[in-house]
Amino acid sequence: MKFETVIGLEIHVELATRTKLFCDCENAFGGDQNTHCCPVCLGLPGSLPVINKHVVEFAVMTGLALDCTIDPESRMDRKNYHYPDMTKGFQTSQRYRPICTNGCLAFTSEDGTERRVGITEIHMEEDAGKLIHEGTRPVSSADYNRAAVPLIEIVTEPDLRSAEDARIFLAELRDILLELGVSDCRMEEGSMRCDVNVSVREVGGPLGTRTEIKNVNSFRSITRAIAYESRRQRELIERGGVVEQRTLRWDDAAGRTTTMRDKENSNDYRYFPEPDLPPIVLPDGMVEQLRAGLPKMPMARRAEYEAVGVPAADARLIAQTRWMRTLLDGALKLRADARTVSNTLIGPLSAFVNEGMEIPFTGAEMAEYAALVAQNKINSNGAKTLLEEMMKGGKQVDEIVREKSLLQVDDTEALKAVAVEVVSENPAAVESYLSGKEKAFTALMGAAMKKTRGKANPAVMRELILSLIVKE
Amino acid sequence: MAEIYTLTVTELKQALADKSLSAKEIWAAFNARIDAADPHIGAFLTRTEQSPPTLEGPLSGIPFAIKDAFCTNGVRTTAGSRILDNFVPPYTATVVERLEQAGMASLGKLSMDEFAMGNANEHCAFGPVCNPQDLARVPGGSSGGSAAAVAAGMAPFALGSDTGGSVRQPAAFCGVVGFKPTYGLLSRYGLIAYASSLDTPGLLTRSVKDAQLLLPVLSGHDRHDSTSLAEAPAPARSVKGLRVGLPKEYFGEGVAQEVKVAVLRAAQTLRDLGAEVSDCSLPMTKYALPVYYLLACAEASSNLARYDGVRYGMRAEGADWSDMMTKTRTTYFGEEVKRRIMLGTFVLSAGYYDAYYLKAQKGRTLIRAEFDRAFEAYDLLLTPTSPVTAWERGSITDPISAYAADICTVSVNLGGLSAASIPCGRDSLGLPVGAQLIGNRMSDNTVLAAAAALEEAIGWDYTPVCGGKA
Amino acid sequence: MNQQEIAALAELCKLEFNDQALEAFSEEFGAILAFVNQLAELETGDTDAYVSSLHAPLRTDSAQPGLPHEQVIRNAPETDGEGFLIPRVL
């Protein structure tokens, strides 16, 4: 049997709003237990919810970025079940009319093909509190700081076909959410959580039964969990078994999935419309305003960069990195050679930034630099010096070039004279090279560079020296 | 000289203004009345410490009492349930805050049917309340404590809540005024929820004028309540020329003869005052009870899920967290509450949602549409508040029979309408009969104006009673 | 509804009935169901389910201090001074 794996994702994203979904309590990570709580998020008797406008805006922005249809009159519903981290005994979510539906996110698979993943829906909901199980006593402790923190849940169609694709898709989604500024998407802090639905089927056959895997806390876990579960299901079917629809828990240390307790599997949530919240009617013009204010999406940026010659891998990194983007965008405005700029960004400038330095010059100056390099007006030594001087800040590019005499010498006549000198002054090196020692040539080039104080056009110099010694 | 405790809010306000009475005297008088009468009535669950009020405001010096469904900061609030026996809220309900900001001081928290589920105040975990008109009888419910407190002169005004008639029906049974405003006019923030889309804070007083005085103090948009209305109700229309309908379904078989007679007499009084009174029909009425019970119980089953012994209230021991929750709820919820939670859970459950919950919501749309049509032809409707007068305590134990007594009031909540009950006569046992005036949403001022005119013409004697004992 | 179904329903809403109570409750529940089943007679056709005509107000995203910590846990049936204690959740 030839199997294919079918994967869908449910991604919960904590929104970076100042306050919680239904109350004015601070939405902050960390802090002493139960210090960001009020009657509303504690679900005290008599408390009532009032929706945070920013949450609605973030949900709409995310929907627009993912090409969704925005429902101008979505509703909230109650999902009823008991658990100690749930203050009301129900979670207020959106079941019957979520705010966004029917979107799509395209990404480039590792084999270079474009894949599209359908976004079934994006809905708003509240987070639960946290249960802490510490110490030796048979008790757990509940902390409600996180109760009613706003989440959006992004549900995909089962359109993914490999663990690697899932990882790429998730990375792409994360880039978008970061670009929008709706969340800090830190999986390790729990502000982005992913449940994975996995099923297998014979290629061309009907969809198999899926299992839902929870507790997948990192990108790496996601790929490992998918790989494990798809293999488990395949082997089960090949042995003649049947995959049961289950909620599973990923145990990253053990590298396997385990069944969660039955109670979680058999819940009837009894969804019904939240009677304390009338329909969420989007104010006139909100969607258009948000659409107009959307930042350029990472994929669009990357495509633009690639179109002007930036290699794909570099394009991705530059698009994600604000300082790089700023310089490249500024340089491109002046029609700089994109490849030269990207190389400089990825290479020497990244090195500077990693040492903690800040780039004091603009995209325009970057363009000037790139022009000099691309037009071969300075050689690599000259370029290095120029960049170092630019990093000190305060001087114009042409000022630096003039002061340090960085312009490459191209004058063939002048260089020819130098070549003749070098050859006559280094007979041992010439002989060494002619007898097959390639390395000896470096000494000749070095001498030439020294004589020209590093400003000789290396390609021209090389040709001139070669033409002299090979002739002989 | 009338006893201070017999005065209405309006009269007390006047006396304070012309300095014939002091706030201290008034406070002492009502507390003394509570000391004398409440041992026979049982209306108060928690008394406020005995110190004279010192708050400033337009209603400064006038005391009131609060149904124990409203959260009061630092003061025990039980909703009539053992599960909240020890609950002390850290915040105050908006409507209570507004009264306090106006200068009023609370005498204490009043008994009620547990979580507002009941119509006789026999389902209070802390004991039943006795009707001041006849101590062997029920005061009605769920705001039985509120109605009894006002009828016995233990407070000039009490806050209640009305989900299916819980302010109007006890008012009728106890012979006082019960007013249920348009849904959303008074904030629900801090009102312990029974059925969110039906719950309405309401007023119990000994004159319609008091309700008219208090309504603007209580109403107004509350940013804490997403269902709170921002607009003020329409100005009152005069009784002369008012078109009043008598829906025949409210005067049918299930209604006691003496009740009908008393209310029809009130209808005639309205005619005499210049209103045009005529018969009409609301065929959807018979579905109001099942629609109400289905929706109220569904919402309640969800609203009461939070009582799980984790964060507040009573807790029972359990083998694990789940068992602890089950033991807690089973031990501390009363029987009626459990019945309604079970029914509510059932109608929302998979496979039944469409046939029950969704169908009831459609029924609700139809009931509202029928009222809207009726209110094109009529300004107000007049009906009995209750099909029967106060029954003997312990005489109705079967839940369905109890539910049937709500037939005249529940449709008002389904429509979110405004309604007032005023006493319009007595039956042969001497028990008060309530007449109910119903207006469309936002017609509260017209409802109250008509009620005031009718009240004046009827001339009901609101002198506080205590079953002859005090 | 049979007693088994009632027991399952009770589990959903975290209630339990001992055998005696279950029997009594089953009867009562049957009567209540018959009562609400009257609704089946009503023709609702393609009437819309009731929805509020209001719009949910959208609150400005501005933080306010919540309850002081001691007020948050003051009603806790069991606490370690920081959080709400419950029997261990596995």
Between residues B337 and A419, which one has the greater pLDDT?
Answer: B337
Give the ranges where chain C is alpha helix by DSSP (H): 3-12, 19-36, 69-72
Whether residue A353 contacts residue A323, with contact meaning beta carbons closer than 8 Å, is answered with: yes
Q: Which amino acid is it at B317? A: E
Is cis: bond before B187, omega within 30 of 0? no
Could you tell me the CA-to-CA distances from C84 to A102, B366, C37 in Å, in that order?
A: 41, 46, 42
CB–CB of C66 and A278 under 8 A? no
Please calculate the CA angle A17-A18-A21 and round it to the nearest 5 degrees.
Answer: 65
* CA–CA distance, A166 with C44 (Å, rounded to integer): 46
The single residue listed with the structure tokens 């509303």 is A40
B188 chain-C contacts, CB cut-off 8 A: none
Cβ contact B284:B370 at 8 Å: yes
Helix (H) or strand (E) holding A188: none
Torsion angles phi and psi, residue A61, rounded to 5: -60, -45
Q: Calculate ∠ Cα A155-B305-A17, nearest 5°.
A: 45
Task: Report the half-sphere exposure of A433 (CA within 13 A, side-chain side).
Answer: 20
Q: Choose between A295 and B281: higher pLDDT.
A: B281
Q: Which domains does chain A have, with CATH numbers?
A: 3-286 (no CATH), 296-403 (no CATH), 412-471 (1.10.10)
Q: What residues does A100 pair with on adjacent strands?
A: A70, A122
Quickly tell me which residue has 């009582």 as its tokens: B307
- Which residues on adjacent β-strands are paired with residue A151? A14, A125
This complex has an ipTM of: 0.96
Residue with tokens 């998020």: A41
Q: How many contiguous H segments (helices) and E segments (strands) does chain B have?
A: 14, 11
Q: How many CB pairs under 8 A join A and B?
A: 99
- Nearest chain C Cα distance for residue A314, angstroms: 38
Residues 17-56 of C with CB under 8 A from B: 17, 25, 28-29, 31-33, 35-42, 44, 47-50, 52, 54, 56
Catalytic residue among B106, B143, B166, B443: B166
Q: Quick check: is B109 catalytic?
A: no
Beta bridge partners of B65: B158
The alpha carbon dihedral of A399, A401, A404, A405 has a sign of negative
For residue B142, indicate whether it is catalytic: yes
Written as tens digits, the pLDDT of chain B (470 aa) is 689 999 999 999 999 999 999 999 999 999 999 999 999 999 999 999 766 667 789 999 999 999 999 999 999 999 999 999 999 999 999 999 999 999 999 999 999 999 999 999 999 999 999 999 999 999 999 999 999 999 999 999 999 999 999 999 999 999 999 999 999 999 999 999 999 999 999 999 999 999 999 999 999 999 999 999 999 999 999 999 999 999 999 999 999 999 999 999 999 999 999 999 999 999 999 999 999 999 999 999 999 999 999 999 999 999 999 999 999 999 999 999 999 999 999 999 999 999 999 999 999 999 999 999 999 999 999 999 999 999 999 999 888 888 999 999 999 999 999 999 999 999 999 999 999 999 999 999 999 999 999 999 999 999 999 998 87
| Superfamily of chain region B4-237+443-458 | Amidase signature (AS) domain (3.90.1300.10)
Does the beta-carbon distance from C36 to B184 stay under 8 Å? no
What are the structure tokens assigned to B179, written together? 């007013």
* Closest by Cα among B290, B283, B249 to B369: B283
Which amino acid does the sequence have at B205? T
Q: Which residues contact B384 (CB under 8 A, 6 or more apart)?
A: B172, B250, B251, B255, B259, B260, B262, B263, B408, B433, B434, B435, B436
The residue among C16, C27, C86 with the most chain B CBs within 10 A of its CB, best to mutate, is C86
Instruction: Give the other-Cβ count within 10 Å of A263's Cβ.
Output: 12
DSSP β-bridge partners for residue B278: B245
B224 vs A44, A48, A277: nearest CB: A48
Residue of B106, B111, B142, B386 with catalytic role = B142
Pairing of strands B200-205, B157-162: antiparallel
Residue among B157, B205, B153, B208 at smallest CA distance from B464: B153
Longest distance between any two alpha carbons in chain B, whole Å: 69
User: Could you give the CA distance from residue B369 to residue C45 in angstroms, rounded to a whole number?
Assistant: 15
A214: closest CA among A228, A196, A187, A191? Answer: A196
User: Chain A residues with CB inside 8 Å of C90's CB?
Assistant: 261
CB contact under 8 A, C38 and B223: no
Q: What is the pairing mode between strands A114-126 and A100-108? A: antiparallel
Closest to C84 in 3D by CA, of A145, B323, A41, A141: A141
Q: Which residue of B has its CA nearest to A24?
A: B224
- Residue A145, exposed/middle/buried by CB under 10 A (0-12, 13-18, 19+)? buried
Contact (CB, 8 A) for A233 and A221: no
Nearest CA to B112 out of B195, B64, B170 is that of B170
What are φ and ψ of residue A197, in 5° steps?
-100, 125
Q: Please state, as a whole number, how many other Cβ atoms lie within 10 Å of the Cβ of residue A392.
A: 10
Six-digit token string for A348: 């020497």
Q: Is the pLDDT of residue A263 over 60?
A: no
Where along chain B do its domains lie?
Answer: 4-237+443-458
Contact A55, A124 (CB under 8 A): yes
Largest pairwise CA distance in chain A? 101
Q: Are strands A77-80 and A272-273 parallel, antiparallel or unpaired?
A: antiparallel
Element (H, E) at B276: strand B276-280
| CA-to-CA dists, residue B353 to A269, B340, C2, angstroms | 11, 16, 19
Tokens standing for B86? 């020890």
Mean pLDDT of all residues in A403-432: 85
DSSP letters, B393-407, are TTS---HHHHHHTTT
Residue B67 a catalytic site member: yes
